[in-house]
């Protein structure tokens, strides 16, 4: 029996079949890899933790957060090599006062020292240590009526400390001469302006 084939139909079916096979071969290693990859879960850590900050140093991730130390009297570090499995580490910072919030750790690429920017109640300060496991010792108080500091190093090596200035929850930037020394005057970069940002209090936090 002779079967008449529609060339247009055949032309459309053959590439689809070939591409389907190639697509399946391409996906096969990806499926195997995905099955073997670690499984993420939320929350990644149990307990009452907030304001997490993570750095990576020598192949290890270090997570610092608010809470878990006698309520909120200090900062504990957690470590991981894959961002999935976390182990509790030591208490790295304990200033002797309550309401320790929003730790942010930065490593100076020049000196190799680690700096922890912290909030105690409504005061921002800086502490430093030889390594990411601390202990971090207070270097100086930086700003009053301020919370949630974060240091940024630009490509030209200039340093800028961002924080929330109270009242009004204004995100402010302070040029820094060094990790511990302000340079010049701070300036406001973001503040509540829209109606929804002021509805239940002015908020442009952290």
- The enclosing domain of 149 has a CATH number of 2.115.10.20
- How many folded domains does the chain comprise? 2
Is 33 contained in some domain? yes
CB atoms under 10 Å from CB of 113, counted, come to 13
Same domain? 25 vs 55: no
Same domain? 122 vs 161: yes
What pLDDT sits at residue 202?
A: 62
| Residue 120 or residue 3, greater confidence | 120
Is 43 contained in some domain? no
Same domain? 190 vs 165: yes
Same domain? 32 vs 54: no
37-63 average pLDDT score: 89
Same domain? 66 vs 23: no
Same domain? 55 vs 32: no
E strand segments, the chain: 50-57, 60-66, 75-80, 87-93, 100-107, 114-120, 123-129, 137-144, 146-153, 159-165, 170-176, 187-190
Is 204 contained in some domain? no
pLDDT of 206 strictly over 90: no
d(CA 120, CA 102): 9
Same domain? 115 vs 29: no
Is 205 contained in some domain? no
Is 134 contained in some domain? yes
Same domain? 26 vs 126: no
φ, ψ at 15 (rounded to 5°): -60, -35
| Residue 8 or residue 179, greater confidence | 179
Same domain? 77 vs 123: yes
Is 180 contained in some domain? yes
Average model confidence (pLDDT) across the chain: 82
pTM for this one?
0.77
d(CA 78, CA 43): 14
Own/partner pairs for 45-49, CB < 8 Å, 24+ apart?
45/78, 45/86
| Residue 87 or residue 43, greater confidence | 87
Same domain? 103 vs 169: yes
User: Is the separation of the CB atoms in 120 and 100 below 8 Å?
Assistant: yes
Euclidean distance between the first and final Cα of the chain, in Å? 77
Using a pLDDT cut of 90, give the percent of the chain over it.
Answer: 58
| Residue 43 or residue 55, greater confidence | 55
Same domain? 3 vs 59: no
What is the residue range of 187's domain?
Answer: 50-197
- The model's pLDDT over 65-101, given as tens digits with 9 standing for 90+, comes to 998 787 778 999 999 999 999 999 999 999 988 899 9
Same domain? 133 vs 173: yes
pLDDT of 179 strictly over 90: yes
Question: What band does 52 get if pLDDT is binned at 50, 70 and 90?
Answer: very high
């Amino acid at each position: 029996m002779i079967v008449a084939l529609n060339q247009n139909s055949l032309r459309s079916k053959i590439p689809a079949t070939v591409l389907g096979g190639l697509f399946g071969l391409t996906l096969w290693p990806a499926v195997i890899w995905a099955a073997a990859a670690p499984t993420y879960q939320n929350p990644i850590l149990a307990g009452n933790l907030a304001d997490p900050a993570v750095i990576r140093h020598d192949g290890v991730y270090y997570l610092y957060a608010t809470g878990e130390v006698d309520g909120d009297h200090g900062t504990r570090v957690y470590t991981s090599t894959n961002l999935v499995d976390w182990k509790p580490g030591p208490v790295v910072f304990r200033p002797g006062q309550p309401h320790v919030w929003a730790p942010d750790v930065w490593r100076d690429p020049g000196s190799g020292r680690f700096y922890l920017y912290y909030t105690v109640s409504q005061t921002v300060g800086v502490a430093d240590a030889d390594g990411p496991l601390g202990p971090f010792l207070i270097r100086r108080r930086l700003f009053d009526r301020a919370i949630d500091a974060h240091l940024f190093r630009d490509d030209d090596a200039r340093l800028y400390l961002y924080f929330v200035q109270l009242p009004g929850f204004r995100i402010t930037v302070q040029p820094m001469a060094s990790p511990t020394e302000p340079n010049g005057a701070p300036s406001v970069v973001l503040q509540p302006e829209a109606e929804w940002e002021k509805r239940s209090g002015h908020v442009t936090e952290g």
